[in-house]
Amino acid sequence: MRPGWDEYFMQIAHTVSTRSTCPRASVGCVLVREHRILTTGYNGAPRGVAHCTEVGCTLVGDHCVRATHAEANAVVQGALHGVSLEGATAYCTHQPCVNCSKLLISAGVRKIVYDGPYPDAVAGVLLAEAGVAAVQYAALEGARG
- Catalytic residue annotation: 71
SS3 content of the chain, % helix, strand, coil (to 5): 40, 25, 35
Cβ-contact 68, 43 below 8 angstroms = yes
Residue 7 belongs to what H/E stretch?
Answer: helix 5-17
93 strand-pairing partners: none
